[in-house]
Structure 1
Amino acid sequence: MTQPAPFTIIIPAHNEESVIARCLETVLADAPDQDRAQIIVAANGCIDRTVEIARETAPDALVLDLPQGSKTKAMNAANAEAKHFPRIYLDADVRCNYASLEALAETLRQPGVMAASPRLEMDLSRANALIRAYYRVWLTQPYVKRDMVGSGCFGISQAGHEAIGDFPLITGDDIWVHSRFREGERRNIAEDANGNPVSFTVSPPRRAIDQIRVETRRRLGVEEVLRLHPSPHFGGSNQAGDIRTALKDGATIFDVAVYLGIKAVARVRGYWTKRRSDTIEWERDLTARDV
């Protein structure tokens, strides 16, 4: 029997005591007893029980207890401890099983593949009507459908790491990775070699006000990457044709109005946020972390 090829899973976590066990339990539920991937939890600036819970849930994982709260610094610290390529970065509040991560690693071993993500699934079961409307449009947009890399789970091959180096001190780590590579160098996989489904699950905000906060941070993160790390591979903003595509894919006029409304409010909020401070506040939705 062929021994599984090694890879490393890196989970950055800042005050994630409510979700870190769920994340690790999902990974470990179908993991092999032996020869499993190296798991590193890069806890950073935690003042809750994240470190303790991670060590209890995954005794074989390496849990770093880093004093400074910085996601990209934590990812770089984990890279310094990582033993294998490819490397997969998994947010603590998302769910992805081991089989999907292993399939992702296998894709990243293919020649020419620099970065990849599993297919994204949105758990909208607890979201209100406005959020469901927003994501009926968002899920049809080019960034999501064209070899997306990000939104909570992505992997980078050894060649990809050698090409881009350490993560810079920015907010949008996934945006930065996505924009480092040409579309043909990115993959978004929905099935493994045997036809089994490959995906990860994100729980979005439940309310429009929380989505606006997240969208504001995302928008500021995009602007930060464009300003500090410009790239010809950046996807750009929505076009009128993208909205027409959403309508063809089943979204309603109401859905589009909600989507554009949330985007507009986040744009204005982002403008005033920049006027007040040059620092991007890491706004996240705590209700989505209520498990």
Structure 2
Amino acid sequence: MDTTMQRRNAGVSIILPASNEAALIGGCLEALLASDGPGDHGVEVIVVANGCRDDTAGLARAFAARMAARGWNLEVIERPAGGKPGALNAGDAAASGAIRIYLDADVTVTPDLLTQLVTALDVDAPRYASGRVEIAAEGAISRAYARIWRRVPFMRDVVPGCGLFAVNAAGRARWGAFPEIISDDIYVRLQFRPGERQGVPAPYRWPIAEGWRNLVKVRRRQNAGVDEIAALYPGLTRNDDKPGFPLSEKLGLALRDPLGFAVYAGVALAVRLTPRARQDWSRGR
């Protein structure tokens, strides 16, 4: 473990697992530094570079002085082993904040988001919060897929927490260590009843996989993660508020955006028709 600065007590801990994210970690940390808040709450940013073969850790450490200038503490932990659950647990073990924000390295926050999350979580009762996810894509196929995905009721009407979720101290007490499962975000989300989850209006940018093959790979992994949680933690499913996706809505989307719907439906069909491969943490980039 490398402690970049002397530890100080923090009100907010931002835990950021990063595996071979040299191309993305700078943008993620720059966006955090551009945040307007969160006011008087002390902030620590804990980057967990796990199983990296690149300079993710070194690039993260380069932000130490700028974070110190804001009164924030930066800690960089290097783990030789890969695996996101282990990285999350290492970050939690090092964290001192009552509010925990778990952030993927490819996510970029907007300036208002941290303050809004902290405000939503600054209560005694268990709470879970996330921002308004903006699905980003670059290539034509992924852009077409994203146009439909952002209109799916689960992404549009509830608090999905993709790539970024936060909990207060009472909420974090709902579970112990992160288990070795595929979908940490779903696992945490389902620790909370729908009324205990709050979406804040500030958005964040969450990029999806690029290209047909990677979209299929990631969609298969997402489906496997849902099935795994249902099998291992059936009691959590009672907290699921995933809305239905009526045929009438699907037909409306298909009429308004036939290309996007063809890509979206084609990926789903490909996942059903092809066997499951070994799952890992890759986002398919």
TM category (shorter chain) comes to 0.7 to 0.9
CA deviation profile, 1:21-49 (whole Å, cap 9, x unmatched): 11101101235699651110011111210
Q: Give the drift of 1:61.
A: 0.6
Q: Give the drift of 1:209.
A: 2.0
CA deviation profile, 1:243-265 (whole Å, cap 9, x unmatched): 61682698434433321211111
Tell me the C-alpha RMSD between the 2 structures.
2.6
Provide structure 2 residue ranges, at least 5 long, that are not aligned to the other structure: 1-9, 66-72
Indicate the residue corresponding to 2:283 in structure 1. Answer: 284
- Using the alignment, how far apart are the partners of 2:249 and 2:150 within structure 1? 13
- Using the alignment, how far apart are the partners of 2:256 and 2:178 within structure 1? 36
Q: Give the drift of 1:18.
A: 0.8
- Using the alignment, how far apart are the partners of 1:40 and 1:80 within structure 2? 10
Indicate the residue corresponding to 1:127 in structure 2. Answer: 139
Q: Give the drift of 1:149.
A: 3.5
- Using the alignment, how far apart are the partners of 1:68 and 1:246 within structure 2? 46
The aligned amino acid for 2:94 is E
Specify which of 161, 164, 170 is matched with residue 150 of structure 1. 161
Indicate the residue corresponding to 1:209 in structure 2. Answer: 213
Higher mean Cα deviation, 142-151 or 86-95? 142-151
Specify which of 154, 157, 168 is matched with residue 179 of structure 2. 168
Give the TM-score of the pair, scaled to structure 2: 0.84
The SS at the match of 1:174 is helix
Asked if the contact 1:88–1:105 (Cα under 8 Å) also holds between the matched residues in 2, the reply is no
Q: Does residue 76 of the first structure (1) align with residue 82 of the second (2)?
A: no
Q: Does residue 58 of the first structure (1) align with residue 67 of the second (2)?
A: no
The SS at the match of 1:63 is strand
Give the TM-score of the pair, scaled to structure 1: 0.82
Indicate the residue corresponding to 2:273 in structure 1. Answer: 268
- Using the alignment, how far apart are the partners of 2:248 and 2:18 within structure 1? 35
Say if 1:272 and 1:164 are closer, same or farther in 2 by CA, change over 3 A.
closer
Say if 1:183 and 1:251 are closer, same or farther in 2 by CA, change over 3 A.
farther
Higher mean Cα deviation, 258-267 or 14-23? 258-267
Asked if the contact 2:18–2:104 (Cα under 8 Å) also holds between the matched residues in 1, the reply is yes
The aligned amino acid for 2:35 is D
The SS at the match of 2:15 is strand
- Using the alignment, how far apart are the partners of 1:258 and 1:249 within structure 2? 10
Identical amino acids, percent of aligned pairs: 32
Asked if the contact 1:149–1:187 (Cα under 8 Å) also holds between the matched residues in 2, the reply is no
Say if 1:21 and 1:98 are closer, same or farther in 2 by CA, change over 3 A.
same
- Using the alignment, how far apart are the partners of 1:132 and 1:139 within structure 2? 11
| Number of equivalences | 266
